[in-house]
């Protein structure tokens, strides 16, 4: 049974609903959240209206021992984009929610005073928490664990969420986040400081014998994938070195694809040798791609933390050119404690620094001169943003809103559909990953379209087709319906058709986010729709096939797309910032990457949108 726990913070009413029928149509997690968002969030309501609903959805395989089955999606109307908002996180929080007997939460209304929602197995109650309002997330998690029990898992907001910073995160215990799209501000608008869960029940499996078979298959495939070893050793930091080498960094607000001294200060080797102490894992994950790190010398000697993720290095290390891993650690810690998305936080500061460089914003107006590689200035700005003070108030709405207030600054506001763009410059390679920034239903973000056969070094045949880089045997082995293989790779397989693959990659990641698996390469590359259909059938007793899970993913995309359309989205918003069409991107060696062709990009988007209307 799939159970929705409904909490009305205005009336205090708490009730449950059996939504098993939705699981059979929309898979779980992100899928069910998308359906609930379409049904429950009124069109044109403000993200901060009491009517907006904060939806929590654990993946339908979460809590089992299937590899990486730990992830939870949070959906709401985004205060950053004003559109469909969604964020995903792992750890154990979602597992505990399922063990407490609930799969989904729908939280509406607004508490009269700051409150915490406690879900203590069968006992669900709201408790006033004015004494924690204003405290950072770490203090909040500490307080709940000390006063209610160390076995509580906590999702909490910090001052940024309370102050309605448009890109406030919800923190998952101390170091993990539901980061993107401002879900923390929705929580803050509801006067909800935290959701604390103690779950000690059980999660049942519909067919034990079949589950055993599925489980063996999944572990074998994930562990035997070529990417398993390097993902364990470096985690996402694997990308740090090649992105600089190729010139794909978002350096200094997307003006430099490579940065001097990068490898010696922010490369993967120096991180692994100098800082990494051990691997860390989310619940039920054999990959263990996270790290525990320790600083062994210098002003931050003996500082320990979880990290580094490459996103932190690309954001604070490249966008702001902070050339010290310990300083990057500390910037991330401040974001975690204030409860702010790392990507949007670094982006708004990079926008400010460039505007100051170009004299669009005067240092005299903000009281100091922010610069690149400016650790102390960055910390100061992060505080100003979290508390909406001075220039921080302007930046707290995200770069799109800030550009609306500061004449002449729009060119430097690097966003798509109001959401700051992360991690990689599309001019280095305008592939599925880069174009996925445009098609993403949650705005400029890189995590909802990643090809399972991605080869970063592969070249282009033309702007719509990428070189294949796989053998016919590898294509045969791919868990993908044969008709789709023909559409994407051709007959005989000879290329990757980019618009077709964007659709497939989005649908595959939608399935993954709905069952609660992780999109790290060993999973993304080795497991496909047929596996997920069988796993769902084994665990939930559904009757899915590869085709029907893909069809469900298509319906989930439609729900998100229609949500955005009803809020006024048009095709004209599927557009990169002007800079990418006008300026070449310098790198350290070789010719600069040329600007993108607006015509080619628009052609691909039009083809993609046509493909979206086709039956699979």
Partner 1 sequence: MEPTIIINIKNCCGCNLCVLFCSWRRAKYFEPGKAAIQVNKDYKRNRYQIVLDEEKCDRCMLCVAQCPTGTLLKGEK
Interface characters, 154-173, with partner 1 (x: CB under 8 A) = -------------------x
Both structure tokens of 101? 């007997």
Reference 263, options 589, 545, 591, 512; nearest CA is 589
**Span between the terminal Cα atoms of the chain, in Å:** 29
Q: Which stretch binds partner 1 (CB under 8 A): 274-282, 453-461, 490-498, 592-600?
A: 274-282
- How many residues can be counted in the chain? 616
Considering only 286, 390, 541, 586, the residue that binds partner 1 (CB under 8 A) is 286
Does position 280 interact with partner 1 (CB under 8 A)? The reply is yes
**92 binds partner 1 per the rule CB under 8 A:** yes
Q: Is 231 in the site for partner 1 (CB under 8 A)?
A: no
Q: Exposed (0-12), middle (13-18) or buried (19+): which is 44, by Cβ within 10 Å?
A: exposed
The label of the residue with tokens 């600007």 reads 595
Q: Which of 288, 475, 609, 611 binds partner 1 (CB under 8 A)?
A: 288
CA 551 from centroid of its chain's CA atoms: 23
Report if residue 220 touches partner 1, rule: CB under 8 A.
no
Using CB under 8 A, which of 44, 112, 213, 278 touches partner 1?
278
Place of tokens 């939806």: 55
Prior bond to 201 cis, omega within 30? no
- Within 221-331, strands assigned E span 276-280, 290-294, 304-306
Should residue 336 be labelled a site residue for partner 1 when binding is judged by CB under 8 A? no
- Counting residues that bind partner 1 (by CB under 8 A) gives 32
Q: Is 304 in the site for partner 1 (CB under 8 A)?
A: yes
Q: For residues 302, 157, 199 and 98, what is the CA-based torsion angle, rounded to 10 degrees?
A: -110
Instruction: Quote the least distance from Cβ 599 to partner 1, whole Å.
Output: 48
Q: Which residue has 């993902």 as its token pair?
A: 231
Cβ closer to partner 1: 63 or 443? 63
Determine which residue in the list 21, 123, 147, 202 makes contact with partner 1, applying CB under 8 A.
202
Binders of partner 1 in range 490-519 (CB under 8 A): none
- The verdict on 442 binding partner 1 (CB under 8 A) reads no
Residues with Cβ within 8 Å of 131's Cβ and at least 6 positions away in sequence, in order, are none
Give which of 86, 112, 10, 22 is closest to 51, Cα–Cα.
Answer: 10
> Which of 197-205, 268-276, 376-384, 598-606 is the region at the interface with partner 1 (rule: CB under 8 A)?
197-205
Closest approach of partner 1 to the CB of residue 55, in Å: 24
Q: Which two tokens stand for residue 310?
A: 């490459």
Count of beta carbons in the 10 Å neighbourhood of residue 543: 10
Q: Please report whether residue 586 would count as binding partner 1 according to CB under 8 A.
A: no
Surface-to-core class of residue 615, CB atoms within 10 Å of its CB (0-12 exposed, 13-18 middle, 19+ buried) = exposed
Minimum distance between the CB of residue 235 and partner 1, rounded to whole angstroms? 12
Q: Report the SS3 class of residue 509.
A: helix
The yes or no reply on residue 65 touching partner 1 (CB under 8 A) is yes
Does 337 engage in binding with partner 1 (CB under 8 A)? no
Stretch that binds partner 1, among 195-203, 469-477, 483-491, 561-569 (CB under 8 A): 195-203
208 binds partner 1 (CB under 8 A): yes
Nearer to partner 1, 219 or 581 (CB): 219
Does residue 63 touch partner 1 according to CB under 8 A? Answer: yes
Extract the tokens encoding 485: 């293989």
**Residue 93 Cβ, how far from partner 1 at the closest point, in Å?**
11
455 belongs to the binding site for partner 1 (CB under 8 A) = no
Contact positions vs partner 1 (CB under 8 A): 63-65, 92, 99, 138, 141-142, 150, 173-175, 200-205, 208, 278-286, 288, 292, 304, 306
């Amino acid at each position: 049974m799939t159970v929705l726990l409904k909490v009305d913070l205005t009336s205090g009413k708490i009730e449950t609903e059996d939504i098993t029928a939705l699981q059979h149509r929309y898979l779980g997690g992100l899928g069910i959240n998308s359906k609930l968002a379409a049904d429950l969030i009124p069109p044109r309501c403000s993200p901060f209206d009491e009517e907006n609903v904060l939806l929590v959805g654990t993946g339908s395989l979460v809590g089992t021992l299937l590899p990486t089955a730990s992830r939870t999606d949070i959906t709401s109307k985004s205060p950053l984009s004003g559109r469909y908002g969604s964020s995903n996180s792992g750890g154990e929080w979602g597992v505990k929610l399922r063990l407490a007997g609930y799969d989904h939460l729908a939280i509406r209304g607004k508490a009269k005073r700051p409150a915490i929602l406690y879900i203590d197995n069968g006992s669900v109650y709201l408790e006033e928490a004015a004494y924690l309002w204003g405290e950072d997330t770490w203090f909040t998690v500490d307080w709940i664990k000390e006063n209610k029990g160390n076995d509580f898992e906590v999702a909490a907001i910090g001052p940024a969420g309370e102050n309605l910073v448009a890109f406030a995160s919800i923190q998952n215990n101390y170091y993990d986040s539901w980061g993107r799209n401002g879900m923390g501000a929705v929580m803050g608008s509801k006067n909800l400081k935290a959701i604390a869960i103690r779950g000690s029940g059980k999660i049942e499996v519909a067919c034990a014998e079949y589950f055993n078979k599925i489980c063996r298959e999944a572990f074998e495939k994930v562990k035997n994938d070529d990417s398993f070893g390097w993902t364990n050793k470096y985690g996402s930091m694997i990308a740090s070195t090649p992105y600089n080498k190729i010139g794909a960094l978002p350096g200094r607000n997307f003006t430099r694809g490579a940065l001097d001294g990068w490898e010696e200060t922010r490369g993967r080797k120096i991180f692994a040798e100098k800082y990494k102490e051990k691997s860390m894992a989310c619940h039920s994950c054999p990959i263990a791609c996270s790290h525990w790190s320790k600083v062994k010398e210098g002003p931050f000697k003996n500082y320990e933390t979880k990290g580094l993720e490459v996103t932190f290095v690309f954001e604070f290390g490249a966008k702001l050119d902070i050339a010290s891993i310990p300083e990057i650690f500390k910037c991330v810690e401040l974001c975690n404690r204030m409860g702010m998305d790392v990507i949007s936080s670094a982006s708004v500061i990079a926008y400010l620094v460039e505007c100051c460089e170009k004299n669009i914003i005067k240092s005299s107006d903000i009281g100091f001169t922010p610069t690149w590689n400016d650790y102390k200035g960055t910390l100061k700005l992060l505080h100003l943003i979290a508390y909406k003070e001075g220039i921080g108030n302007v930046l707290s709405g995200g770069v799109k809103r800030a550009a609306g207030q500061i004449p002449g600054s729009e060119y430097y506001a690097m966003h798509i559909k109001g959401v700051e763009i992360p991690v990689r410059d599309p001019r280095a390679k305008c592939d599925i990953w880069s174009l996925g920034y445009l098609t993403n239903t949650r705005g400029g973000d890189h995590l909802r379209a990643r090809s399972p056969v991605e080869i970063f070094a592969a070249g282009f045949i033309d702007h719509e087709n990428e070189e294949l880089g796989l053998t016919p045997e590898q294509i045969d082995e791919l868990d993908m319906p044969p008709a789709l293989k023909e559409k994407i790779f051709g007959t005989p397989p000879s290329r990757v058709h980019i618009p077709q693959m964007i659709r497939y990659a989005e649908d595959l990641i939608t399935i993954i986010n709905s069952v609660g698996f992780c999109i790290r390469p060993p999973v993304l590359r080795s497991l496909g729709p047929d596996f997920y259909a069988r796993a769902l059938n084994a665990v939930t007793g559904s009757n899915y096939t590869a085709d029907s899970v893909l069809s469900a993913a298509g319906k989930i995309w439609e729900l998100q797309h229609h949500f955005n359309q009803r809020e006024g989205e048009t095709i004209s918003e599927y557009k990169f910032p002007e800079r990418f069409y006008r300026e070449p991107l310098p790198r350290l060696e070789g010719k600069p990457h040329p600007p993108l062709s607006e015509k080619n990009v628009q052609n691909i988007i039009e083809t993609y949108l046509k493909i979206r209307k086709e039956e699979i």
